[in-house]
Structure 1
Amino acid sequence: MLNALQVFTTVIVGLMVGVEFSVAFVINPILNALPDDSSQRGRSHGGRMLGAVMPVWYITSLALVAVWAIAGRDHHGTGLVVTAGALLILSVIMSILLLVPINNQGKTWTPDTRPDDWKKQMNRWDRFHYVRVVIIIAAFVLLVAALA
């Protein structure tokens, strides 16, 4: 049973990492290359769509890692799992304090209502997101190492 939990948790966290990596290095660069109205509309739509899904995914991932750490406390690799959980907690805190406030504004913008500095705000979100991606990649690597 523990093995199934470990694999399931690693897959869920890995998929989350893949989505966030894709946002950082594929989707946003594509949107940034579009004309301003299209770029801003795409980012607003992405903010609404992923803003609804990702909090559930982050919390679910964190909960699964916590269950793994507790259930496997006497097994090899538990320290790695606990460290991965701490990194996921950091990513959630970072999201709540830094990324969500920017996203909550950006997802409501239209070409007529966006502020003059909207690109600056999106670039700020991107920088925070790059850091978050590094953190969750590190958490994923630790989970994979705990499986080995």
Structure 2
Amino acid sequence: MDDKDRQIIRALQKNGRMTNQELAELVNLSPSPCLRRIRNLEARGAILGYAASADAAVYGLPVTVFVRIKLERHNEKDVQHFEARIKALDEVLECHVLTGQTDYQLRVVVADLDSYETFIRNRIHPIGCIASIDTSFVYGTVKKTAVFPPLN
């Protein structure tokens, strides 16, 4: 991947709806080479897809929660079971494997505190193999972006 490919990716991350003509002008390419680069980036898996960025609160899910989970055991069966169950939960937008005191961090969105309690009691607890759950509620966001920083 070269700097021109990175420019294309950053531009599309900022505005995935721009036309190929607009993108080509922005990154100083003619339209045909620009489109070839986009298709190549898609084929190589550098561009994973295109999506609309939506406001969770306006959608009806104003509560964002970071949930840190520690497993009881780290055997293959429990890890696979836990990860498969988490992947099936719509409320979980992200799940990251961590180093340190906890094993996973989830980003969860819900409508309210009662919905979060229901989520934990009815969706997380039944998974089993969980040693501890630590919750942090987001009460403000300072920065949120999907645009990668430029490489130096």
TM-score (structure 2 length as normaliser): 0.25
- Report 1 or 2 for greater relative contact order, CA contacts < 8 Å, sequence distance ≥ 6: 1
TM-score (structure 1 length as normaliser): 0.25
Q: Which of the two has greater helix per residue?
A: 1
Structure ID, larger Rg: 2
